[in-house]
Every structure is written in structure tokens, then in C-alpha cells.
Structure 1
Amino acid sequence: INPSFNRNGKLALFSEWHHSYMKGCFFLEDDGSISCLQYQLHVPQTTNVYLTIRPLSLSHGPGTDKPSSWMTVDTALFAMAAGETKEDSTLVGFTESKDKEVCKYVWKGELHAGTYYLLPFSSGCKLKKRSKKSPSNRPIELVYRTDSGELDLTRELREVLSDIFEVIDLDGNGLLSLEEYNFFELRTSGEKCDKDAWAVCKENFDMRKNQLTQQGFMELNLMEATEKDGDPADLWVILEAMGFNHMLELVDACPFRIDVHCEGTQPSIQPLSMDSGPKLQNQALQKSITARTGAKALRGQDNVFIYTYRGEHRISSLIANKSNQKVTVHVNNEQSRNCCSSRGMSVFAVEVPGRTKMVCQHILPINERQDWTYNCVETILPCA
């Protein structure tokens, strides 16, 4: 498969291929971990497939003069063939190559007819907690009173809500289904909206085909603000859960888009929220590292091994402790050049329980236009 892109970044040779896409978002949690939805892909018959994932530009981003900060976040997609149980799922492939022109991460190959899990991943090298800037003296207002004394949403908030709508409209049809709205509700409130409550929404807010329009989404948020007599506290909870800071900048999230092109059959893709999602992703990640590289025993150790996956745009390492005792591994990246670690520091220690494999770190170049050199020294720290 050798697709080419035209000037608009569109796949030039795929006009005859079947296409399906889905949006999503990486969220940076308080503990520094990254969460997102998973997806189920159904391929009706064996076919050549071209999978891509890329950061998604939003309509009300910072503008052309200042690119959105999340557009440089690394994204990846792991494809696993679904087994009888989720634990039986096997890694089929992952997006190893990167099309720098359009910032897409790509996997191409043949998939047999069947069901697959698509597991989005970001290393944490770029999407990470920043030092909290002190809030500006004048907080951005979210609601105001019109000349007639009624509450309304400010222009700034409407733009942000419009971006949020764009992110949670996973299938991109310009409407929110109950399922899409519930992914948003679970993210922001931890609760779901049932069918009865959705019927109430239908009576009060703009809907089309039993789905909420963007106008209806604005009306819903205005009603909630009005019920609180203009107190913006609940609105801030929503905005922060969706990754916005108090300057209404998207800093703790990275919207993305997954595209699936199939040569001979129409693929279908569905969003999932699996409790086992993080575990499955870790399983896929570990397999992607150990399957591509030999194990290197740590100096003076027979039972502790390092696996290092060296991709063209990401390096990942894994520690396998085959002994029965826990070990503490000291990791030193100080000899590396133009590298940033997902650990956020050059020198750190990792505690690995007995009979356990653990991802040690991910490494990305700080500046992609310059050479980068990975030089890491791992040593066992003596037991205290």
C-alpha cells in the first residue's frame, strides 16, 4: 500500500477505498496519567487497511498565527484482535511511522475479517502537567446579564463550548447522540443521562433526529447557569474536566481523529469506554516493545532485563524482573541529547515487583528538526 497525499493532506490514492472515522480526546488526569475512550473496529472481510491517528485542530483554536499547543502532542494507535475475552486480545499492529507533512501516525497492513480494539495512546512526553500560572487579576467571565436583565453566555464561553461540542461529536455529524452526550457527562460529572432525561431535553432544547444540536447544547448550558443564578462554579468544573484552564486555553487535553481506510470493504468504528481499557493498552504497549527488540540483562543481573524499542519518532523501554524479589532500577538519561522523557526528569528510580514487566519510560525528541541521541544507563540499586 503506497498512498500519497495531495496539497490539502487528503489521501490522493484512496478515492476508491472505503472510509470511516471517529474523533476522541486524550485527557491529562490529576495524577499525570492520560485517559481516553477506546474504539471497536469491525472489518466484514479480509482487506488491506490504512489506519491513522492525528491531533485534531479545532475551529476556535488560538488562530493561524499561533498554532494550538496540543497539535504537537504525539499520538499512537494500537490495534488488537478481539479474543473470546478481552484478556485474550492480541496485538496486530500499531502506528509506527509518521507522516510529518500532516502530523499523522500511520499503520498499514492486512486485517482479517473480524472485530478489533483500537487503543489510542500518547506517551506523556508532550501532554503533561505544566506549572500552574497564577491566575490573571481579571478572571474571564463566563456569563453576564443582558440589558433586559437576563443571563446569557459570554462570547468567550460560547466559543469554548463550540469547541467542546466539536470534540464530543465523535462521529462528526454535527449532532450529539445520547451515547456521545453520555461520554461527555461521565467525563464532567461522573453520571449518565437516561432516556427519560433525554426526552426532557428534547422538549426543552433544540434537537434533530433525537440528537442534540450545537444550539441545543448552548441552551442546555445556559439553563444550567441560569438555575445557579449565574454562579459559574459548575461551568468551571465542566471546563476543567474537559482540559481548559482559567484563561480558557486547552492545556490538559489533546483532541484527536482516527481514520480507517479499507480497500475492499466498509469498516465500522464505535466508541467504547472499557474498564479494562488501560490494562489492554498497557498489554499492547508492552507487547509492542518486547516483540521488536531483544532483552538486555542488567549488568551483574541474571534475572532483570531491559527491552528498548527504537522507533523513528519514539523510543520506549521496558524492565522485566524475572526474579521473585522486587528490584529498584536507577535510570540515568543525562548523556542523552535533545530528548524528553515521559517521566519528566533525567534521573529517576523505578521499583519493579518480582515476576513483573513494567514500562520504564518513553522518549521523544524535544526538537524534531534536530538530531536526537538516546543514551540511557540503567543500574540496580542495592536493597536498603
Structure 2
Amino acid sequence: MASNAGSDAVFTSQKSTLSESPQTKKFPLTEEERFYMNCRATYLTVFKSSLENIISKDQLYLVLQHAGRNPSQTTIHKYWTPQTAKMNFDDFCIILRKENPTSKAELLKYFKQLDVNDDGSILHSDLNKFLTKRGETMTQEEVNAVINLDDVNSDGKFDYIKFCKLYMKTNEQCLKITLEKLEANSKLRRQQFGSHIEGSPERDPSPKLSPKIIRKNDQEAFSNKGDTTNSLLSTTRKFKTSVSFTIAMGANSNQTSKLTPPNLKDWQCVQSKGCFFLEEDGGIIRHRYKMQISQRSMVYLTIKPLNLSQVEGKFKCQFISSLKILEVYIFIFSCLRLRKEIKPITEEAQLVYRDETGELFLTNEFRSTLSDIFEIIDLDGNGLISLEEYNFFELRTSGEKCDEDAWTVCRENFDTKKNELTKQGFMDLNLMEANDRGDPLDLWVTLHSMGYNKALELTEACPFVIDIYAEKCKPRIKAVNMEACSGQLETAVCNSVLDRGEAKVMDGYENIIVHTCNYDTWITSIIENKSDNKVIIHINNELSKNCVNNRGLNIFAVEVAPKSTMVCQHVMPLNERQEWIYYCVYSLIA
């Protein structure tokens, strides 16, 4: 996945530590290299190898703590869902891009709320109440461990300023020690994936693609690229064999679907809405529907983006038949994972403010976002939120349903119509929650769950509208639940590419096959491993033109389990109005 806002802040406190490396003094690491090196260093404080998987919530919590994240249980549950069985190192990196490390300023901000005397300390009694009765509570034993720290406690007071300094210093020291171990162990270098490379004294500071991984005909086709004597990874990689694909694509046209029935205006239509939510592990959560047709009839179905105030209509999808529905999954999946230009978020959007009397209000920007969220969860499009629709929202944001009694209280206190919540009632409900909590932190948890970033941009979700037309009867459609579809999607994508794509076998390794399929507006590749051993495939997209892929990197690597098939990458044009060339080299790592 491409870097998102916040990734620039990852490990910023450790930059000076890394720059002290003898290797990096001569050839400083790039931001991307520094990020992955720190990720691996952190990962290896918990696991023996970066190839080991995270297999439990406790392990995820531990490794995130080592990365300076100090995650809440809400955060853990967001990433480790009931469908999660394991996470790998790449999943861990994705999470670190999303979750900024706890900064000293943030720590001080939380503690200052309890500093009644504004003297940099908190009474043990006040600290005990705060830690055992508010938010995610700690046990008395855990609280005692904090209070008994000699360096930050005296005379019945907790010196939180010293504690914050100690916390940050300990994090830096732990990372420095691990980096030194990583530097000294050459075996660990060979486990690095993609751009996760360490600096090398022999590394060309401005490397180009190596001819070792380009076949002769490929070199001739791209001879105008200049000298290719030094590979970006030539000092750390040994390749057994390579295979490449080249596809030249024209500018995308905006032609309408040829499958649209000519008499569609005479068919009966029903509409519903839904949303794809991108999870931190790369999976997708989506609504599942039940459709009823009272008699045998031709059916035409379209899936289009839901036009919101902050969402550009980038998804052009009109499909009929199960095959085309499969393709819309692929298309939306690929679009969700792609980022054209990721700009760092320098300022967090303000959600609430107080007037001169101290009364709390929602900002106009936050109200606009809540209005869009209301449109997303109003699945039947009647301008009201039913209990059933509200529970889809609750399950997504908190993991719990609202029961009938709570819904009755909600209707009694907020504006409703026909026993359903109006948009104004939804606004007032969020304002009440902001008042009750006194801190917008929980509001941000809700916003992140719905796919919004700190600038209130919808970057991790794709709301859509489904229109179903039936020729001979009135169709019915109803959302029945929300579920993970990553496994189904992966299988469906692989089957589609296997059926329609071009296959190339790795020279000398007939059990390793790369399949690539051109879907006119995007290209998808999968890797099939028929062998009894896992393999690591290095992917290089450096010579592609006007392209972006869902991995967010031009160079990366994937691990393919034995007897399995996996999606390698989705590629789309950066500028849809210009021609683009997909040129990719797949190499088997020794």
C-alpha cells in the first residue's frame, strides 16, 4: 500500500539514531529505506525473523508497543478482526503507516488533563482513579507498577514530565540496540523484502536497473533508458531466474457499456447503497445483500460510486452477469488500494469548538463529514436511519449493536420521523457524544473506522449505489450483514486472471508461473506456486510509464506459500487521459 498521511512521522524520533550508522554516513538512506529498516528492527525485537507471522492479538499489541504506538484495545480490534488468523511483516508495516507513534506532546497533553495544580505532577490518588475507572482501565497491579517507578514518583506524586522523557528515551535506546544487532547480522539482510534494504558502502547513490534481471530482447526494447550497470538491489539480491511482461495501453475512453439493454427505461428498478471498507491488513469489509425476484426475468445490475461532497466519481462501473460483477470487485479493490498523490497531512481537522459561553459545537467541516456518513449508512436512501441501518454503522465503528431499549432512548432524545433517525438527530447524537467524552479522540476512532483520515478525506472506503433492473417484475434487495470479503475476493481475482490472463513460466522452474491479465482500464497479475516450497518473488516496475500499483512501491517482493496462488499487484494509469506502459520484471530470489 502506498504511504499515507502520517507515514512521514513514523520513527521521526529515531532519525538521528539511524544516521549514526557507519554505512549511512557515506550513503544516507532514503525515507522509504529508513522506514522499512526501523520496521524490521522493531519486528525483530519480538520475532526471530521478519518471515514469522503475528498469530494473536497479544503479539500484535506487543510488537506495536515496541514500535512506540501504545495501541488501545479499540485500535487492536480494528486491525485484528474475528476473521483475522495471522498477519505478516508487510501487514505490520501497513499498520505503522496508519498509526503514528505516540509523541511526547501527546503524552503531555493527556497527563495535563489531570494536573490540577499545573506543576508537572499528578497525585497518586488522582492517577489511580484515572487509570482504573476511565477509558480502557488498568488493573490495580498495573497501576502500582507505574506508581512504584522510582525515577518518576516521590511524595505521593507522579512526575509525568519525567515519565514522558523516560518513555521517549527508552524507545530510542531500544531501537538503537536492535538496529546495531540488525547491522551486525548479515543473515538478516537476506530476509529483507522489496525496498526494505539497508545502506551499503558499495551502493550507487543513484542506482539504475540491473541488466542481470532483464532479458536481451527487453534490453533492446528499452535501450533508450541509458546505462543500467548498477542494480538498486544488486548488492543484496541473488536471482535464480526472471520473466517480464510489457503491455502498452492507450488513454482510457469513457464509452458506455455495450451490454445495456435498449429498453431499460421500461424495466422496474430498485436501489440500495453500501460501502467497501479497506482494512489495515489489506482486507475488505463490505455489505452482503439478499435479492429477491418473484418470477423468472432478465436482470441488469449497475454499481456506481455514491456521489458525496468529498468523493470524486472515479469509479466507472456498469456490469451485467456474474463475471462482470466479479470485475467490479477487482476494480473497486484496486482503486481503493491506489494512491495518486499522497500529500502529508500537516494539520489535523478540528471537529468541535466552544463559544465564549463554553458551549460545545460541531465545526462546519465535521458537520459536512457527518452528513456524508449519514448518506452512506442510509442504505435505502429514504433520508432516515432505521435501527437496522444504524446497527451497520455501530458494528463498523464500535463492534457492538444498539438494542431496542437504547434505540427507544435515542428516539426520545433526538429528532426522529416514522421511528427512524433524521439527519439532524444524527448530528445531535454526535454532538452529545462529543460533550460526554470531552475529547474528540473517540470521534476520530469512529471517523477512521468509516475510512476518513485526519484531514477528513475519505481515503479508505468506497461508498456505492446498486441499481437493479428487472424486465418482468419488481426486484427487491436488502443488506443482511457486513463481512470480510478478502478471501473470496482473492479467490475470485485469481480465478478470473487464470481464466483470461497470459501465463509465463519462470525459466527452469516450471512450477512457478506469473499470470497477467489486461482489463482495459487496469492490469492485474497473480503468481502461481505449484511447488512444495514457499518462494519469494522480487517485482520491479521501474521501467513502467504513467503507472501506479496498489503496493505503493516500484520495487517490492512477495512471499508465495507452497501449492497456492496469490494476487501480486493491480496496476492503473496515473493519468487516465494519457498513454501508459506496463513493464514489469518478476525474479525468483535465491
User: How would you bin the TM-score normalised by the shorter chain?
Assistant: 0.7 to 0.9
Of 135, 140, 146, 2:347 maps to 135
* Aligned counterpart, 1:17: 267
Cα separation, 1, equivalents of 2:316 and 2:333: 6
Cα separation, 2, equivalents of 1:12 and 1:213: 38
C-alpha change, 1:335 and 1:250, in structure 2 (3 Å) is: same
Give the CA deviation at 1:75.
6.5
Cα separation, 2, equivalents of 1:328 and 1:342: 19
Q: What's the % identity of the aligned pairs?
A: 46
Indicate yes or no: 2:437 matched with 1:207. no
Cα separation, 2, equivalents of 1:45 and 1:364: 40
Q: Judge which range, 189-198 or 48-57, deviates more.
A: 48-57
C-alpha change, 1:46 and 1:371, in structure 2 (3 Å) is: farther
Of 398, 401, 405, 1:192 maps to 401
Give the CA deviation at 1:121.
3.8
Of 177, 183, 186, 2:386 maps to 177
Cα separation, 2, equivalents of 1:216 and 1:11: 41
Is the 8 Å Cα contact of residues 43 and 267 (structure 1) preserved in structure 2?
Answer: yes
Runs of 4+ in 1 over 6 A off after TM superposition: 74-79
Of 306, 314, 332, 2:522 maps to 314
Give the number of the structure whose residues are more often strand, by fraction.
Answer: 1
Of 263, 273, 277, 2:471 maps to 263
Indicate yes or no: 2:398 matched with 1:168. no
Is the 8 Å Cα contact of residues 339 and 552 (structure 2) preserved in structure 1?
Answer: no
Give the CA deviation at 1:176.
0.9
Give the CA deviation at 1:193.
0.7
Cα separation, 2, equivalents of 1:36 and 1:275: 6
C-alpha change, 1:146 and 1:71, in structure 2 (3 Å) is: farther
The one-letter amino acid paired with 2:289 is Y
Unaligned runs of 5+ in 1: 62-67, 80-91, 98-104, 106-117
The one-letter amino acid paired with 2:314 is T
The one-letter amino acid paired with 1:379 is S
Q: TM-score, normalised by structure 1?
A: 0.76
- Mapping for residues 323-342 of structure 1, pairs under 5 Å: 323-342=531-550
- Mapping for residues 235-384 of structure 1, pairs under 5 Å: 235-275=443-483, 277-293=485-501, 295-382=503-590
Indicate yes or no: 2:239 matched with 1:29. no
Give the CA deviation at 1:160.
1.8
Cα separation, 2, equivalents of 1:249 and 1:170: 21
The one-letter amino acid paired with 2:478 is Q
Cα separation, 2, equivalents of 1:252 and 1:135: 19
Give the number of the structure whose residues are more often helix, by fraction.
Answer: 2
Count of residue pairs the alignment pairs up:
332
**Aligned with 1:288: secondary structure?**
helix
- Mapping for residues 37-48 of structure 1, pairs under 5 Å: 37-48=287-298
Give the CA deviation at 1:57.
1.6
Cα separation, 2, equivalents of 1:76 and 1:238: 31
Cα separation, 2, equivalents of 1:30 and 1:276: 12
C-alpha change, 1:310 and 1:338, in structure 2 (3 Å) is: same
- Structure number with higher relative contact order (C-alpha < 8 Å, ≥ 6 residues apart): 1
The one-letter amino acid paired with 2:380 is D
**Aligned with 1:328: secondary structure?**
strand
**Aligned with 1:122: secondary structure?**
helix
Larger Rg: 2
Cα separation, 2, equivalents of 1:339 and 1:320: 24
Give the CA deviation at 1:26.
2.9
Deviations, residues 101-122 of structure 1 (Å, cap 9, x unaligned): xxxx6xxxxxxxxxxxx89842
Give the CA deviation at 1:45.
3.5
Indicate yes or no: 2:307 matched with 1:71. no
* Aligned counterpart, 2:299: 49
* Aligned counterpart, 1:114: none
Is the 8 Å Cα contact of residues 28 and 128 (structure 1) preserved in structure 2?
Answer: no
Q: Judge which range, 70-79 or 188-197, deviates more.
A: 70-79
**Aligned with 1:54: secondary structure?**
strand
Give the CA deviation at 1:185.
1.0
Cα separation, 2, equivalents of 1:239 and 1:188: 8
Indicate yes or no: 2:362 matched with 1:122. no
